Amino acid sequence: MYGRRQELCNELENMFAPEEPLALLVWTEDSIQEICCFNNESPVTDEETRGVLSLIGRTPMSEYQKQGISAASVSGLLARHRADADRRVEVPVRTLVALVDWAERELIARESEVWAAGALAPESYGQVNQDIKLLKQLSGI
């Protein structure tokens, strides 16, 4: 599983009985950074760290129960994430325009909700906004 603590707690509550004994192993951004440093990986970005956490969280239970998640597998997952991030895909312009427009509207709506609640927008919203601008620039939108 991958997500924020509250989301994971809710998911665990739905999956297991309250009295059921469990062993819970936790990976965090800091632990991924430490393992990558230990493995002498080139500097790892925050986005790559979250990508590796997501890959760990999406690993089927049967797989990690048999093979575990080790320092070596973290390196493999980092390499996989980097390869996926560099992969190129072709998308029709009209599809890209529709997705960029939707993403921009969704970002504005979420920012409005956060501001209405009197909070500051997360830093990730700024990155999404930069990504939207880049997509518009690259596609001539």
Last residue of one domain, picked from the residues 86, 105, 126: 86
Residue 78 domain boundaries: 5-86
* 6-38 confidence digits (pLDDT tens): 999 999 999 999 999 999 888 999 999 999 888
CA distances from 139 to 25, 85, 93, 104, 122 (A): 43, 19, 7, 15, 27
State the total domains in the chain.
Answer: 2
Q: Are residues 26 and 56 in the same domain?
A: yes
Q: Is the pLDDT of residue 43 over 90?
A: no
Mean pLDDT of 73-101: 89
CA distances from 93 to 20, 57, 132 (A): 51, 33, 14
The tokens describing 41, both together, are 């990986």
* 123-141 confidence digits (pLDDT tens): 888 888 888 888 888 878 7
Q: Are residues 109 and 40 in the same domain?
A: no
The tokens describing 127, both together, are 């990155």
Contact between residue 139 and residue 98 where contact means Cβ atoms under 8 Å apart: no
CA–CA separation, 77 vs 72, rounded Å?
9
Assessment of whether the complete model's pTM goes beyond 0.75: no
The tokens describing 62, both together, are 């049967």
Residue indicated by tokens 């998640």: 69
Q: Which stretches of the chain are DSSP H helices?
A: 5-15, 29-38, 46-57, 61-67, 71-86, 93-116, 123-139
